[in-house]
Structure 1
Amino acid sequence: SGDTVLVKFSIADSGIGIPVEKQKAIFDSFTRIKYKERIFEGTGLGLAISKNLIEQQGGKIWVTSKPNEGSTFFFDMVLEIGEETTPETHTQQPSETLIIHPNRIMIAEDNKMNQLVARKLLTKRWPELEIVIANNGQEALDLVDEHFDVILMDLYMPVMDGYAATKAIREHHNPNISTLPILAMTADAQIQEGDKYLKYHLDGFIVKPFDPSVLYEKILAHLNRTHAKL
Structure 2
Amino acid sequence: MFFWETLQSYELADFLMFSPAVYFRMVEAYVGSWWPLALAFVLGFSGTLWLWYQKGQDLPVWGLLAAAWVMPVPLFFLGRYAEIMTAAPAFATLFALQGALLLIARAHPVKGPAHVSPIGAWGGASLMIVALVLYPVVAMLAGRAPAAFEAVALMPDPAVPLTLGWFLLVGERRLLLWVIPFLWVVISAGILHTMGEPDYWLLPVLFLLAAVGAFLLPRSGAIKN
Normalising by structure 2, we get a TM-score of 0.21
Structure with a larger share of its residues in strand: 1
* Structure number with higher relative contact order (C-alpha < 8 Å, ≥ 6 residues apart): 2
Q: Which has the larger helix fraction?
A: 2
Structure with larger Rg: 1
Q: TM (normalized to structure 1)?
A: 0.21
